[in-house]
Structure 1
Amino acid sequence: MRANSNNDLRAFVAVAEQGSFSKAAEQLGLSPSSLSQIIRSFEERLGVRLLHRTTRSVALTEAGERLLLRIRPALAELDAALADVGHFRENPAGIVRVRCLRHAFRRHVAPILAEFHRAYPDIKLDILIDDTITDLVAGGFDVGFTLGEVIEKDMVGVRLGGDMRQIAVASPDYVARHGRPETPKDLLQHKCLRWRWPGRVMPYNWEFFTDGSWFEVEVDGPLILSEHMMVIDAALEGMGIAFWVEQELRPLIDAGRLVPLLEDFSAPFPGFYICYPQQRQMAPALRAFIDFVKAHAVKA
């Protein structure tokens, strides 16, 4: 075995956990062909095959399963030891991989990016801005910004701001031509501009609150989009009624470009959280980012 066995083992674990050379290569910052060569050379030095490869899948051999079982805790302990030593660094450094809902990015991340870089110039933030709800750890992310209602199990969640609420809005022209809905059920007689969660087949059903409970309305209309702000643009053009977070809509409402509707049925709910896996030792760069976000969280 050569001195780079640690890297070979980490490459093997990445492929085994991802079940894919391409996904593991992306996680490690390598090309799939380079990763394949590393694994092939590793198997040759061991004199045993660790992975079954086909054109569509990767599976562990019996030897591979046994090796993975033994080295996972060893690598975890090594990472913890290195992270512990890293606490002695005066200037945290490294990459922090972040997954962030779009509205959460605009509200809690974008305003602090420049100041964070000035405070920690050696930390690189790799941020994916996406409204898809996915497994944080499986995606290779260190930390996420999401709604409290969708935080995964075994995650630490820290609330960042105040409550939020969604409201229905339309342009003054639309209201003049079609009138106001008096109850959420009246929306069934209106042109509604719908939004689809990325990765979902069906559009989002609008949620309202009355008599102590939430209920959904499956609205309909001339347009379904996957970008919220494009839905709002269509509402500004008078195409129909839109439904979105009040904080985002408030400047347009205050300017008279949109009219709020059904506000008595729009109740607040807990807003955004920063979440991350429970871990015994946290990398200094990740700790610095989480602490910075919490210290600068928008409270309103």
Structure 2
Amino acid sequence: MKTEDIALFHRIVETGSLVEAADILNLPKSTLSRRLQALEEELNVKLFHRQSRAMTLTASGSHFYDKTTAMLATLEQTLSELSGEESEVTGHLRIMIFPVPELMHITHAIFEFMDLNPELTVEIIISSEPQDMIRNNIDIAFMLEDAFNENEMVARHIFTERVHFFASPEYLSRVGRPVTPEELPAHNSILFRYPNGRIFNEVPFGKDRILSVKGNLCVNSLATCLEATLMGRGISMMPLPFAKEYIDNGELEMLFEEIEPYEGKCFLVYPSRRFISLASQRFIDFMMDTLARCLKNGNCGEEIRIRGPIKPML
């Protein structure tokens, strides 16, 4: 019995569909179906109730899934221990990154990890939309603290971003500049919706105050939020690195500079109820070490040159 076939069985369970699993794994549906059938014949049990559009586990299939989840996790850990820290890893990693200011730092670190492990293939998914990591076969994600369910994820803190209030000179000349906290709720705020569905309209002001703000525009993209702020649509809250270039050239102004800013946290997360592959284990260790050195040396804030068409997406 091949452990690879058991892993394929897990992907079918987690997507709930042979077609979806084949698409995510980039395998022909016929290949996946054949290997699943061979696994069932070897076990001499029926693992799925097959329906026209979905597949549901039989009692035996559910039992096999539960037992083999721990088994695969133990196997991956054992392989990691036997192979040693310097050995090359193989396989495929699907990595999702929320469009945070450190996006390019994270991307460059991924490229470095790939260079150290040339047999590894990687897929990078940039998304501010909610994603079911298990169903979509996402191994690792870099997400903001309010963007994931802590009960379903293992989360490791990697960055802290200071979030400030910003507005364009055009907006301030038209509407007026808020001077006190009490004035802010009367202004038009550009609202932000997190991937978990929550709208960020109860905003922290300083260390010990929460303000309720409102506005006629809600976005789920920091790039769109920045563009709306530049066009005078309202007051926004964004990490300083997103706005710094426009503060420097006068296109934006920072508000309430004397107030200690809210600190948003970014985490490296992975599903808690799924076995972690050897490639994922090594990647997590590499990223935590790389980012720790970056923060210790104080060069995480250095500008990384962005090449090609990705820049407008940030």
Normalised TM-score (structure 2)? 0.75
Quick check: 152-161 or 223-232, which moved more?
152-161
1:213 corresponds, among 208, 213, 238, to 208
2:57 corresponds, among 56, 60, 74, to 60
- Gap change, CA 1:55 and 1:262, over 3 Å in 2: farther
Deviation at residue 77 of structure 1 after TM alignment? 3.1
| Equivalence for 2:261 | 267
Quick check: 223-232 or 168-177, which moved more?
223-232
Other structure's SS at 2:96 match: strand
Quick check: 251-260 or 64-73, which moved more?
64-73
Would you say how many aligned residue pairs link Structure 1 and Structure 2? Answer: 293
- Contact 2:158–2:288 under 8 Å retained in 1: no
Deviation at residue 150 of structure 1 after TM alignment? 5.6
Deviations 1:209-258 (A, max 9, x none): 25x5342423113x333322222222222233222112211221122111
Quick check: 131-140 or 225-234, which moved more?
131-140
- Gap change, CA 1:150 and 1:237, over 3 Å in 2: closer
Gaps of 5+ in 2: 302-314
- Gap change, CA 1:218 and 1:238, over 3 Å in 2: closer
Deviations 1:260-282 (A, max 9, x none): 12344553325323344678995
Normalised TM-score (structure 1)? 0.78
- Contact 1:206–1:219 under 8 Å retained in 2: no
- Gap change, CA 1:93 and 1:291, over 3 Å in 2: farther
Measured in 1, the distance between the counterparts of 2:46 and 2:142 equals 40
Q: Does 1:37 align with 2:34?
A: yes
2:293 corresponds, among 273, 292, 295, to 295
Q: How does 1:1-300 map to 2 (within 5 A)?
A: 5-44=2-41, 46-87=43-84, 90-103=87-100, 105-106=102-103, 108-132=105-129, 134=131, 136=133, 139-148=136-145, 152-153=150-151, 157-161=155-159, 163-198=160-195, 200=197, 203-210=199-206, 212-221=207-216, 223-265=217-259, 267-269=261-263, 271-276=265-270, 282-283=278-279, 285-286=282-283, 287-297=285-295
Other structure's SS at 1:244 match: strand
Measured in 2, the distance between the counterparts of 1:119 and 1:40 equals 37
| Equivalence for 2:311 | none
Measured in 1, the distance between the counterparts of 2:241 and 2:232 equals 21
Deviations 1:88-138 (A, max 9, x none): 654444433322211154253134455445444444332222224556555
Measured in 1, the distance between the counterparts of 2:111 and 2:265 equals 24
Gaps of 5+ in 1: none
Aligned partner of 1:54: which letter? Q
Rg larger for: 1
Measured in 2, the distance between the counterparts of 1:277 and 1:290 equals 17
- Contact 2:15–2:134 under 8 Å retained in 1: no
- Gap change, CA 1:70 and 1:95, over 3 Å in 2: closer
Measured in 2, the distance between the counterparts of 1:138 and 1:96 equals 15
- Contact 1:13–1:68 under 8 Å retained in 2: yes
Measured in 1, the distance between the counterparts of 2:300 and 2:194 equals 26
